[in-house]
Amino acid sequence: MRGGQIMQNTLSPKGLRGKVAFVTGASGALGSDTARALSARGVRLALLGRNTEKLEALARELGGPEKALAIEMNVRNLASVEAAAKNAAEHFGGIDIVVAGAGMVTTELVENYSATGFVDDIDTNLNGVWRTVKATLPYVRESKGHISIVASLASFIHMPEMSAYSASKAGVLALANSLRLELDGSSVTVGTIHPSFFESALGNALTTSPLLNRASGNFGGLFTPIKREDVVAAIAKNIERRSRVAVLPRAFSALALMPGLGQRVIEPYLTHNLRKTAGNLER
Ligand SMILES: NC(=O)c1ccc[n+]([C@@H]2O[C@H](COP(=O)([O-])OP(=O)(O)OC[C@H]3O[C@@H](n4cnc5c(N)ncnc54)[C@H](OP(=O)(O)O)[C@@H]3O)[C@@H](O)[C@H]2O)c1
């Protein structure tokens, strides 16, 4: 609660004005565009990441410290996330919205991951979201706010050479489901966003994976990249409606209801693509 700005239990487009969002991954493609979209709705922003140059440039673009504050933070370090949450809450007088968007991907065969390669994805994408939620929850409880976790289609569909990423994104969905039940009665809401591939540094890194290229039909057909602006719009809507889940493209929406079945249904398509191209490529 803060002077003259008691959080109403609504985050409608009108109700978003003046609210405070804690956006991790704000130096990245999706995070920076999400910050811009929220800023356009009158949201004040704590911009979190490791690349302070990019964060500070974005903060200036969005109007400077009263409207947007760059804060250096590493999601792999709890003390760093806790310090950032405290800094953001003290600067703006609270935190109403969390967008947990920091993420990374290391594409590799299960048997070839280095000792750290596998762990890095899990520590950033899963443990990092846990650290973000843990550090911000005291403030979000007070504001009765909303936590929007950027997961992936990989929460439901597990592709080759993406085992660490898929495990982290399936794990983050489980984290969100447990959290939602723990928060029952608190008025805090939790949503997960599950986009397919879109252009970004992370998205572009995926295109270097031979098996993933083959399984996805060179990112064509079902796996044609989606527009990043559609993902941004889905995040904004998830916050405004305090909704539970968003899957993009919508054709995959049923996966959120039947994740196990979804993998069984999609697997023959992936296997067909892999067999069709067997021998064409190294993997
Ligand atoms: N692109 C896709 O195809 C796709 C599809 C589905 C889901 N997603 C998800 O969308 C989210 C945003 O990714 P993007 O595609 O926009 O990629 P991106 O442009 O590469 O952005 C990744 C962001 O994560 C931050 N980050 C990574 N490690 C971090 C750490 N240890 N501490 C703090 N921040 C860290 C980076 O910030 P710094 O480098 O400044 O630390 C950067 O802001 C991710 O969660 C990703 O898994 C992406």
Instruction: Quote the domain boundaries for residue 211.
Output: 20-276
What distance in angstroms lies between residue 117's CA and the mean position of ligand 1's atoms? 16
Cα(193)–Cα(172) distance, integer angstroms: 11
Residue 248 lies in a domain: yes
Which residue's alpha carbon is nearest to atom 45 within ligand 1? Answer: 103
- Indicate if ligand 1 lies below 6 Å from the C-beta of 231: no
* Res 280: pLDDT: 61
- Site to probe by mutation for ligand 1, drawn from 73, 104, 126, 227 as the one with most ligand atoms within 8 Å of Cβ, is 104
Residue 13 lies in a domain: no
Residue 11 lies in a domain: no
What distance in angstroms lies between residue 26's CA and the mean position of ligand 1's atoms? 8
- Indicate if ligand 1 lies below 6 Å from the C-beta of 29: yes
For the record, the structure tokens of 130 come out as 């846990």
For the record, the structure tokens of 158 come out as 């597990």
Instruction: Give me the sign of the Cα torsion angle 119, 23, 130, 178.
Output: negative
Cα(13)–Cα(150) distance, integer angstroms: 20
Q: Are 34 and 49 in contact (CB under 8 A)?
A: no
CA dist 37 to 59, 69, 249, Å? Answer: 13, 16, 20
- Site to probe by mutation for ligand 1, drawn from 24, 50, 99, 153 as the one with most ligand atoms within 8 Å of Cβ, is 50
Q: Are 211 and 217 in contact (CB under 8 A)?
A: no
What distance in angstroms lies between residue 25's CA and the mean position of ligand 1's atoms? 5
Q: Which residues pair with residue 191 across a beta bridge?
A: 148
Q: Are 108 and 161 in contact (CB under 8 A)?
A: yes
* Res 261: pLDDT: 87
Atom of ligand 1 nearest to the CA of 193: 7
* Res 282: pLDDT: 57
Atom of ligand 1 nearest to the CA of 169: 47
DSSP 246: E
Give the contacts of 181 (CB within 8 A, at least 6 positions apart).
none
Split into its structural domains, the chain has a count of: 1
Which residue's alpha carbon is nearest to atom 7 within ligand 1? Answer: 152
Spatial CA neighbour of 194 closest among 215, 180, 177, 173: 173
Number of neighbours of residue 60 by Cβ within 10 angstroms: 12
Per-residue pLDDT of the chain (283 residues; tens, 9 = 90+): 343 333 446 687 678 999 999 999 999 999 999 999 999 999 999 999 999 999 999 999 999 999 999 999 999 999 999 999 999 999 999 999 999 999 999 999 999 999 888 999 999 999 999 999 999 999 999 999 999 999 999 999 999 999 999 999 999 999 999 999 999 999 999 999 999 999 999 999 999 999 999 999 999 999 999 999 999 999 999 999 999 999 999 999 988 888 888 889 899 999 999 999 887 655 5
- Indicate if ligand 1 lies below 6 Å from the C-beta of 77: no
For the record, the structure tokens of 72 come out as 């250096």
Residue 4 lies in a domain: no
Residue 14 lies in a domain: no
Q: Is 94 left (phi over 0), alpha (psi -120 to 50) or beta?
A: left
DSSP 182: H
Atom of ligand 1 nearest to the CA of 54: 40
Cα(20)–Cα(1) distance, integer angstroms: 12
* Res 283: pLDDT: 57
Cα(1)–Cα(95) distance, integer angstroms: 10
- Indicate if ligand 1 lies below 6 Å from the C-beta of 99: no
Residue 281 lies in a domain: no
CATH number of the domain encompassing residue 84? 3.40.50.720
DSSP 87: H
- Indicate if ligand 1 lies below 6 Å from the C-beta of 195: yes
Just list the catalytic residues.
165
Q: Which residues pair with residue 53 across a beta bridge?
A: none
Question: Residue 233: exposed, middle, or buried by beta-carbon count in 10 A (0-12, 13-18, 19+)?
Answer: middle
* Res 281: pLDDT: 56
Residue 282 lies in a domain: no
- Site to probe by mutation for ligand 1, drawn from 22, 23, 24, 30 as the one with most ligand atoms within 8 Å of Cβ, is 30
Query: To which H or E segment does residue 190 belong?
Result: strand 189-195
**Inter-axis angle of helices 52-61 and 29-40, to 10 degrees?**
20
* Res 24: pLDDT: 98
Residue 57 lies in a domain: yes
